[in-house]
Amino acid sequence: MHVDLYEKLWMWGAGVLVAVFVGAVVYTAAAQAIHPPSHMETIDPAAARTDPRFANPGVTERPDGGVEVVMLAQMFSFLPGEIRVPAGRPVTFRVTSPDVMHGFQVVGTNANAMVVPGYVTEFTVTFPQPGEHLIVCNEYCGMGHHVMHAKLVVEGGAP
């Protein structure tokens, strides 16, 4: 069987690209210890509203000076609908969903996460300046997706 030179070059080029991609995945997974999360906090979506961790959504002060915000993302609202947090202090968001997948984005900041039923999404962010921010669902969740929002009010400064 005769294979033209140009076909051989294309086959070798494709093979090299595949080897580079596989090498990049292996390198990041092994050498840099980048792995998918394995110890995630889970929750029963059917019982999320009555689970002690999410039965009373809202804002609480932590002993370390930070603030914890517990929220439910549900069709088609966030509970609570308005959150007040202090500026200049770490704010840890803990969010779950009892129904479908939702997005959680604080517009104008780098706070952005997916909220998946059965899991607790947790991330920490510090808002340096006072102001108001819109929280939106950026993952299509149904016919009322466009009305799913909440308000974040960042108040004053750090004590």
Q: Do 68 and 2 belong together in one domain?
A: no
Q: Do 57 and 120 belong together in one domain?
A: yes
Q: Do 6 and 70 belong together in one domain?
A: no
The CATH number covering residue 141 comes to 2.60.40.420
Q: Do 52 and 19 belong together in one domain?
A: no
**144 inside domain:** yes
**13 inside domain:** yes
Q: Are 71 and 79 in contact (CB under 8 A)?
A: yes
Residue 146 identity: H
Q: Do 79 and 134 belong together in one domain?
A: yes
**8 inside domain:** yes
> Alpha helix (H) ranges present in the chain?
5-30
Q: Do 66 and 140 belong together in one domain?
A: yes
Q: Do 55 and 78 belong together in one domain?
A: yes
Contacts of 150 (CB under 8 A, 6+ apart): 71, 77, 78, 80, 81, 82, 83, 134, 135
Cis peptide, bond prior to residue 76, ω within 30 of zero: yes
Q: Do 83 and 30 belong together in one domain?
A: no
Q: Do 58 and 108 belong together in one domain?
A: yes
Q: Do 83 and 6 belong together in one domain?
A: no
**40 inside domain:** no
Q: Do 92 and 74 belong together in one domain?
A: yes
Lowest mean pLDDT of 35-39, 98-102, 144-148, name the range.
35-39
Contacts of 50 (CB under 8 A, 6+ apart): none
d(C-alpha 6, C-alpha 13), whole Å: 10
Q: Over 80: is that where the pLDDT of 159 sits? A: no
Q: Do 136 and 82 belong together in one domain?
A: yes
Task: List for the chain the helix, strand, coil content (%; round to 5).
Answer: 20, 35, 45
Q: Are 80 and 56 in contact (CB under 8 A)?
A: no
What's the confidence (pLDDT) of residue 34? 61
What's the confidence (pLDDT) of residue 53? 94
d(C-alpha 53, C-alpha 28), whole Å: 35
What's the confidence (pLDDT) of residue 68? 96
Q: How many separate domains does the chain show?
A: 2
Summarised one tens digit per residue, pLDDT across range 128-155 is: 999 999 999 999 999 999 999 999 999 9
Q: Over 70: is that where the pLDDT of 81 sits? A: yes
> The domain containing residue 141 runs over which residues?
45-155
